[in-house]
Amino acid sequence: MTPVRLDLRDNVALISIDSPPVNALSHAVREGLMSCIEKADADPDVQAIVIICDGRTFIAGADIREFDMPPQAPHLPDIVDRIDACETPVVAAIHGTALGGGLEVAMGCHYRVALASAKLGLPEVKLGLLPGASGTQRLPRLVGAEMALSMMLSGNPIPAQAALDAGLIDMVVTTDDLAGAALDFARGAIDKDPRHVRDLPVADVAEDLFDKSRASIAKKARGLFSPERIIRCVELSTQLPYAEGCKAERELFMECKDSPQSAGLRHAFFAERAVNKIPGIGKETQVRDIEKVAVLGAGTMGAGIAYSCLNAGYSVHLLDNNEEGLERGRATIHKLFEGGIARGKISKEKMLETIERLTLSENYDDLSDADLVIEAVFENMAIKKEVFGKLDQVCKQGAILASNTSTLDVDEIAAATKRPQDVIGLHFFSPAHIMRLLEIIRGKETSAEVIATSLKLTRALGKIGVVVGNCFGFVGNRMLYSYGRENQFLLLEGAPPEQIDKVLYDWGMAMGPNAVGDLAGLDVGYKARQERTDLPDDPRFYRIADMLAELGRFGQKTGKGMYFYEEGSRQPTPDPQVQIMIEKESRALGIERRDIGETEIIERCIYGLINEGARILGEGIALRASDIDVIWTNGYGFPRHLGGPMHYADTVGLEKIYERVCDFKEEFGAEYWEPADLLKGLAQKGSSFADFDKKTPTK
Ligand code: T1G
Q: What's the pLDDT tens digit per position in 312-331? A: 999 999 999 989 999 999 99
Confidence at residue 218, expressed as pLDDT on a 0 to 100 scale: 85
Burial class (CB in 10 A: 0-12, 13-18, 19+), 547: middle
**Residue 624 confidence (pLDDT) above 90:** yes
Any atom of ligand 1 within 6 Å of the Cβ of 142:
no
- Please, which pLDDT band fits residue 532 given cuts at 50, 70 and 90? confident
Strands of 144-255 (E only): list them.
158-159, 171-173
Q: What is the pLDDT of residue 273?
A: 96
Strands 372-375 and 400-403: what pairing? parallel
Q: Does the beta carbon of 135 sit less than 6 angstroms from any atom of ligand 1?
A: yes
Give the nearest ligand 1 atom to 63 CA: 1
Q: What percent of the chain has pLDDT over 90?
A: 94
Task: Say if CB 132 and CB 105 are below 8 A apart.
Answer: no
Q: Which of 53, 58, 59, 64 best tests ligand 1's pocket when mutated (most atoms within 8 Å of CB)?
A: 64
Q: Which of 230, 235, 204 shows the shortest CA–CA distance to 217?
A: 230
Closest atom of ligand 1 relative to the 104 alpha carbon: 30
Residue 366 is predicted with a pLDDT of 95
Q: How far is the CA of 193 from the CAs of 178, 186, 338, in angstroms?
A: 23, 12, 52
Confidence of residue 58 (pLDDT cuts 50, 70, 90): very high
In this structure, the residue with its CA closest to atom 15 of ligand 1 is 273
Above 90 in pLDDT, residue 194?
Answer: no
Residue 23 Cα to ligand 1 middle (Å): 9
Model confidence band, residue 627 (pLDDT cutoffs 50, 70, 90): very high
Query: How high is the mean pLDDT of the chain?
Result: 96
CA of 670 from ligand 1 middle (Å) equals 44
Q: State the DSSP H helix or E strand holding residue 34, giving kind and residue range, or none if neither.
A: helix 27-42
Least confident range of 190-204, 236-250, 598-612:
190-204
**Closest C-alpha residue for ligand 1 atom 28:** 273
CB of 133 within 6 A of ligand 1: the answer is yes
64 lines ligand 1 (CB under 6 A): yes
* Pocket residue to mutate for ligand 1, from 19, 22, 136, most atoms within 8 A of Cβ: 22
CA of 60 to the centre of ligand 1 (A): 6
Q: Is 101 in the pocket of ligand 1 (CB under 6 A)?
A: yes
Q: Provide φ and ψ at 4, rounded to 5°.
A: -130, 130
Tens digits of per-residue pLDDT, 100-148?
999 999 999 999 999 999 999 999 999 999 999 999 999 999 999 999 9
Confidence check: pLDDT of 1 > 80: no
Q: Do residues 460 and 287 touch, judged by C-beta distance below 8 A?
A: no
654 pLDDT above the threshold of 90: yes
Ligand 1 site, residue 345, Cβ cutoff 6 A: no
Q: Are strands 4-9 and 400-403 parallel, antiparallel or unpaired?
A: unpaired
pLDDT of residue 408: 94
Distance 22 CA to ligand 1 centre (A): 7
Residue 172 pLDDT class (50, 70, 90 cuts): very high
Per-residue confidence band for 533, with pLDDT thresholds at 50, 70 and 90: confident
Q: What is the average pLDDT across 464-478?
A: 97
Q: What's the CA-to-centroid distance between 646 and ligand 1, angstroms?
A: 23
Q: Residue 586: what pLDDT?
A: 98
Protein residue whose Cα sits closest to atom 22 of ligand 1: 60
Alpha carbons 307 and 303: distance in angstroms, whole number:
6
488-491: Cβ within 8 A, 24+ apart: 488/540, 488/541, 488/542, 488/543, 488/544, 488/545, 489/540, 489/604, 489/668, 490/596, 490/600, 490/601, 490/604, 490/605, 491/544, 491/582
Reported as a pLDDT band with limits 50, 70 and 90, residue 620 is very high
Cβ 319 under 6 angstroms from ligand 1: no
Residue nearest to atom 10 of ligand 1 (CA): 22
Q: Which atom of ligand 1 is nearest to the CA of 276?
A: 27
Q: Is the CB of 122 under 6 A from ligand 1?
A: no
pLDDT above 90 for 23: yes
Single out the residue of 3, 1, 10, 2 nearest to residue 50, CA to CA. 10
| DSSP code, position 100 | T
Q: Biggest alpha carbon distance in the chain?
A: 92
Which is the closest atom of ligand 1 to the Cα of 100?
Answer: 26
pLDDT at res. 375: 98
Give the residue, by CA position, lying nearest to ligand 1 atom 53: 273
Q: Choose among 629, 635, 693, 670: nearest CA to 438.
A: 635
Specify the residue with its C-alpha closest to ligand 1, atom 54. 273
What does 251-296 look like in DSSP terms, one character per residue? HHHHHHHTSHHHHHHHHHHHHHHHTT-BTTBSTTS------EEEEE
Give the Å distances, CA to CA, from 592 to 436, 494, 596. Answer: 42, 8, 12
Q: Are 26 and 66 in contact (CB under 8 A)?
A: yes
Residue nearest to atom 52 of ligand 1 (CA): 60
From the CB of 265, is ligand 1 less than 6 Å away?
no
* Per-residue pLDDT tens over the stretch 330-362: 999 999 999 999 998 899 999 999 999 999 999
User: What pTM was computed for the model?
Assistant: 0.96
Residues with active-site annotation: 104, 124
Residue nearest to atom 51 of ligand 1 (CA): 60
Atom of ligand 1 nearest to the CA of 132: 30
DSSP three-state, residue 698:
coil
Is any ligand 1 atom within 6 A of the Cβ of residue 699?
A: no
Whole-number pLDDT of residue 531: 82
Q: Residue range 389-410: average pLDDT?
A: 97
Query: Cα of 26 to ligand 1 centre, how many Å?
Result: 12
Distance CA 24, CA 60 (A): 5
Q: In this model, does residue 204 exceed pLDDT 90?
A: no
Q: Which atom of ligand 1 is nearest to the CA of 155?
A: 24
Q: Phi, psi at residue 50, to the nearest 5°? A: -120, 130
Instruction: Indicate if the pLDDT at residue 2 is higher than 90.
Output: no
pLDDT attached to residue 219? 77
